[in-house]
């Protein structure tokens, strides 16, 4: 039996109709650019929680979604980060909407268990997820971590004590570790003066 989907010119089968409805109910992602004490950060959130925290001002829009600029929607996440940079917050309570493969999610959950002010090696993180020989794959999963700082990949270092890699650069990684060891703060944050214009992906 065929059904006529509202707003469409041809008839669709029931399964096709479901696909059209999903397409028109596209997810909305909110974003905001913020001039933090460590430089420009872009925050992205869904209705479920924080999706991304990026060091780049431009967004890597991999998700098929409608994108809306909203300082208000990202304000609760920004407030927690401000307290963290000021040395006033050790545990984030913001909701997270992590998205990745099953292996990546296990790696990122292991990162969330590393206490503030402590570090782990890539090998120790691999053992923590039950795959002691997968330390290189763990390093790649950390590299792909979409929510920097909050999901603390900066707390993972090489077995020889060197910093290893970091998407925000090694000087920043060292500053974050120093902050968590009680060696100063990163100062006050301020908003970007001019926000970028809203951009949306519209169904065609």
Catalytic residues: 153
What is the DSSP code string of the chain? Answer: --EEPTT-SSEE-HHHHHHHHHHHT--EEEEEEEEETTEEEEEEE-SSSEEEEESSSS----S-SEEEE-HHHHHHHHHHHHHHHTT--SS----B-----HHHHHHHHHHHTSPTT--EEHHHHHHHTT-TT-HHHHHHHHHT-SBTTTS-GGGEE-TTS-----TT-HHHHHHHHHHHTTS------EE-SSPPPP--PPP-
């Amino acid at each position: 039996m065929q059904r006529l989907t509202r707003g469409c010119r041809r008839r669709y089968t029931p399964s096709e109709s479901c696909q059209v409805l999903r397409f028109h109910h596209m997810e909305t992602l909110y974003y905001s650019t913020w001039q933090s004490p460590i430089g420009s950060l872009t925050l992205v959130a869904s209705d479920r929680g924080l999706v991304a925290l990026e060091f780049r001002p431009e967004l890597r829009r991999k998700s098929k979604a409608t994108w809306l600029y909203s300082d208000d929607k990202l304000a609760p996440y920004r407030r927690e980060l401000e307290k963290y940079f000021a040395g006033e917050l050790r545990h984030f309570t913001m909701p997270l909407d992590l998205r990745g493969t099953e292996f990546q999610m296990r790696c990122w959950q292991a990162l969330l268990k590393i206490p503030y002010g402590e570090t782990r090696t890539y090998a120790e993180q691999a053992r923590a997820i039950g795959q002691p020989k997968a330390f290189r794959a763990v390093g790649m999963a950390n590299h792909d971590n979409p929510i920097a700082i909050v999901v603390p990949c900066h707390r993972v270092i090489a077995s020889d004590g060197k910093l290893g890699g970091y998407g925000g650069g090694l000087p920043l990684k060292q500053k974050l570790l120093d902050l968590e060891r009680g060696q100063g703060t990163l100062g006050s944050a301020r908003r970007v003066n001019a926000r970028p214009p809203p951009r949306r992906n519209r169904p065609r």
